[in-house]
C-alpha cells in the first residue's frame, strides 16, 4: 500500500512532468527522481514512469495538433524511426543486467540535466536558423531528411532505455537540421516522444509486468494527463527559467539519492 503522502507527491510529480514535457521536454526529471527518492528501484522507476507519462503525451500532443499540420511528409519517416529506436532501447533495458542500468543512469541523468541548462541556447540557435533559412521546412533535401531520421532513431534508442530529456535531444537535432518554427518543432517533439513512450510502455508491460509499480504508474498517468492539457493550453504563460529551476532541483535530489544507495 502506497502511503498517502507518497501518493500525493507522485501525482503532483506527474502533473508537473506532463506540463513540462509538453512545453520544453525533460519532465521525466521530475517523476523519475521522485520515485527514486521515495525508495523505488531505478529500473522499476523508469518503467513505471514511461507507462505513466503516456497519458500526458496524449493530452500534450492533442493540444499541439494544429502545429503538426504540414509536417506529415517528414513525420512519416520520423515516426517509424522513433518506433524502431524505442524498441531497441526497451530491449536493452529489459535484457541488460539491472546493475548496468544502475551504473549508467547517473551518467544519463547528469547528461539530461546539462541539456536542461543548455536548452535555451539550443532553442535560440534553432530559432535563428528557422528565421534565416529561405527554404520551406516541408521541402528539405534528401540528405538532410536522412540525417533527421537517423538522429530521431538514435534519440528513440535513448528514450526507450531512459526517457529523460529525449524531448530536448529531439529539439536539438531538428533545430540543427531543419528550418522550422520552434512551436512546430515542439509539436513534432511531443508526437515522437509519445511514440517512444508507447513502444517502451508496451514492451515493459508484456515482458516485465511484475516489475512495474502499477499504483505509481497510475498516479503519474492521472497527473500527467492533466499536466499535458494544462501545458498545451496555459503553460506558455509560465517562465521557462522557473520550470528549468524546478527540474534541476528535483534532478539533483534524485541524483544524490542514486549515488547514495
pLDDT tens for the chain, 261 residues long, are 778 898 999 999 999 889 888 877 778 888 988 998 899 998 899 899 989 999 999 998 998 888 898 889 899 999 999 999 999 999 998 888 878 877 887 787 787 677 767 766 766 776 676 566 655 555 667 888 898 999 999 999 988 888 777 887 788 788 777 777 777 888 899 999 999 999 999 999 998 899 999 999 999 999 999 999 888 887 656 666 776 676 677 667 767 766 765
Of 89, 230, 229, 106, nearest in space to 163 by CA: 89
49: alpha, beta or left? (left if phi > 0; alpha if psi -120 to 50)? alpha
pTM: 0.80
Domain extents in the chain: 4-260
| Angle ∠(178,183,185) on CA atoms, nearest 5 | 35
Amino acid at each position: 500500500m502506497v502511503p498517502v503522502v507518497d501518493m500525493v507527491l507522485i501525482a503532483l510529480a506527474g502533473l508537473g512532468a506532463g506540463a513540462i514535457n509538453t512545453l520544453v521536454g525533460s519532465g521525466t526529471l521530475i517523476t523519475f527522481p521522485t520515485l527514486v527518492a521515495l525508495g523505488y528501484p531505478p529500473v522499476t522507476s523508469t518503467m513505471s514512469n514511461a507507462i505513466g507519462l503516456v497519458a500526458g503525451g496524449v493530452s500534450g500532443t492533442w493540444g499541439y495538433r494544429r502545429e503538426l499540420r504540414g509536417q506529415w511528409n517528414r513525420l512519416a519517416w520520423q515516426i517509424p524511426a522513433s518506433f524502431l529506436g524505442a524498441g531497441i532501447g526497451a530491449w536493452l533495458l529489459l535484457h541488460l543486467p539491472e546493475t548496468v542500468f544502475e551504473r549508467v543512469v547517473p551518467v544519463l541523468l547528469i547528461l539530461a540535466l546539462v541539456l536542461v541548462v543548455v536548452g535555451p541556447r539550443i532553442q535560440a540557435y534553432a530559432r535563428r536558423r528557422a528565421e534565416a533559412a529561405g527554404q520551406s521546412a516541408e521541402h528539405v533535401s534528401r540528405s538532410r531528411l536522412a540525417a533527421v531520421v537517423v538522429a530521431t532513431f538514435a534519440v528513440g534508442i535513448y528514450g526507450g532505455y531512459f526517457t529523460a530529456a529525449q524531448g530536448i535531444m529531439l529539439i536539438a537535432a531538428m533545430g540543427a537540421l531543419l528550418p522550422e518554427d520552434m512551436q512546430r518543432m515542439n509539436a513534432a517533439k511531443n508526437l515522437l516522444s509519445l511514440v517512444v513512450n508507447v513502444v517502451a510502455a508496451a514492451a515493459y508491460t508484456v515482458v516485465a509486468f511484475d516489475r512495474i509499480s502499477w499504483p505509481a504508474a497510475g498516479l503519474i498517468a492521472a497527473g500527467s494527463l492533466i499536466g499535458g492539457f494544462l501545458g498545451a493550453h496555459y503553460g506558455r504563460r509560465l517562465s521557462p527559467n522557473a520550470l528549468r529551476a524546478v527540474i534541476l532541483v528535483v534532478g539533483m535530489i534524485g541524483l544524490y539519492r542514486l549515488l547514495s544507495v
